[in-house]
Structure 1
Amino acid sequence: MTPSNSSVLFDLDGTLIDTAPDFHRVINLLLREEDRAPVSYDFLRTYVSNGARAMVAAAFNLAEDDQKFDKLHQRMLTLYLDNLNQDSKLFEGIAPCLNWLQEQAIPWGIVTNKPEIYTRPLLHSLGLDKTASTVICPDHVTHRKPHPEALFKACQEIDREPRACIYVGDHIRDIEAGKRANMLTIAAGYGYLNANEDPKTWQADYLINSSANLLPLLESLYRDTPQT
């Protein structure tokens, strides 16, 4: 694995960008509309990586097959589209990491289960749409992660072999997708872990507990990995 033949791919929410503050705001807006008590940030954060449906179900203590659920879910998505980037930001240390990748001519990209309608405006607001070499959303593939299809598509777009690439994610499905694509995997232990979840059990190749540790790890990997 060398800069000339490799790439680093990222999951989005909980790995590259800290979107939990905006999801927390939106969920509490929805709860207020329904005359319900707000939920705490710490409570909601553990559900963010499981998606909008999981957040609505948890906040309202409601099963997804409840007759009220679909209306609440759709309203939540509308509110989120209107509040995509009030407080969302790159995790600490990620901006220097992306800058370093560009300096090394290592293309980086995003492979996410977040639909394109939300992903593209968010990336644009943070100035990432012009620097990411590939952005793969569920709209672009048949199967979502943990299926590796999206990772394979990202590699095709940037002309890289999956075995020479790295995938970074904060959910077990990210690590499973990366391993199934034969990529080196890095578990983002700083991300939106479910309650009582231990990322050590995901069996990623590497585990980092702080986003600030990603750049030193990448520097070490590219320095120490034998050239192929």
Structure 2
Amino acid sequence: RVLVSNGSAGLIAHAFNCQEDHPDFEQIRAEFLTIYLDNLCRETRPFPGIQPLLDQLGYAGVPWGIVTNKPSLYTEAILDALQLKPAPASVVCPDHVENAKPHPEPVLLACEQLGIEPRHTVFVGDHRRDIESGREAGAITIAAAYGYIDDDHPDTWNAHHLVNHAAEISALLF
């Protein structure tokens, strides 16, 4: 689970000891991504506490969005399967921008789509690159220590806040 944030290249490197410069890498990656797409939502669920948080956001009329380094093909399939309510008002994937996280561009695009200035935006992430992206965009950042955390220490990410459960996000927002 901790390897997920490293993307397909990281997973392939770990599972097959095959780096991106290996002659078979692209073939292995293509096969992996086909299998991944076919099984994408088999065990996928929101983290505990996310739906009550979304309910609060919806009730308060607060728009929310997703900024991910997962390509839109996979992100859209996951969102279609999960049917989150309220639905995100913005979804930004790396194929929507020139620079993926940790660059601030995807966060800035989400803010633009939401019609909210970055300084009035709260950006939650479970990886150091998320916090870097949010801070560089000028957003208030929350490190989610309950996500797909690797051996890194979220308390060293320089986030404005650190939470161990999604319910703690509600307490910071409302």
- Whether the 8 Å CA contact 1:123–1:129 is kept in 2: the answer is no
SS at match of 1:110: strand
SS at match of 1:58: helix
Q: Is 1:157 matched with 2:107?
A: no
CA–CA distance in structure 1, aligned partners of residues 102 and 72 of structure 2: 18
1:173-223 Cα distance to aligned partner (Å, 9 max, x none):
10000000110000011111223x11111010001122332222322xxxx
Normalising by structure 1, report the TM-score. 0.73
Structure-to-structure mapping, 1:216-227, within 5 angstroms? 216-219=171-174
Q: Is 1:191 matched with 2:147?
A: yes
Alignment partner, residue 145 of structure 1: 101
SS at match of 1:152: helix
Q: Percent identity?
A: 47
CA–CA distance in structure 1, aligned partners of residues 28 and 171 of structure 2: 43
Q: What is the identity, as a one-letter code, of the residue corresponding to 1:76?
A: F
Alignment partner, residue 162 of structure 2: 207
Structure 1: segments with no counterpart, 5+ residues: 1-44, 220-228
SS at match of 1:120: helix
Q: Which has the larger radius of gyration?
A: 1
Task: List 4+ stretches of structure 1 deviating above 4 A.
Answer: none
Normalising by structure 2, report the TM-score. 0.95
Q: What is the identity, as a one-letter code, of the residue corresponding to 1:216?
A: A
**Relative to structure 2, which stretch is displaced further, 124-133 or 158-167?**
124-133
**Relative to structure 2, which stretch is displaced further, 108-117 or 150-159?**
150-159
- Whether the 8 Å CA contact 1:188–1:209 is kept in 2: the answer is yes
Alignment partner, residue 53 of structure 2: 97
Q: Which has the higher contact order (CA 8 A, sep 6+)?
A: 1
**Cα RMSD between the aligned structures?**
1.3
Offset at residue 168 of structure 1 (A)? 0.3
1:134-170 Cα distance to aligned partner (Å, 9 max, x none):
1111111111011111111111111111110000001
Offset at residue 62 of structure 1 (A)? 2.3
Cα–Cα, structure 1 residues 130 and 97, in superposed 2: closer, same or farther, change >3 Å? closer
Count of residues in Structure 1 that have an aligned counterpart in Structure 2? 174
Q: 2:72 aligns with which of 106, 116, 128?
A: 116
Structure 2: segments with no counterpart, 5+ residues: none
Structure-to-structure mapping, 1:1-228, within 5 angstroms? 45-128=1-84, 131-195=87-151, 197-219=152-174
Offset at residue 121 of structure 1 (A)? 1.3
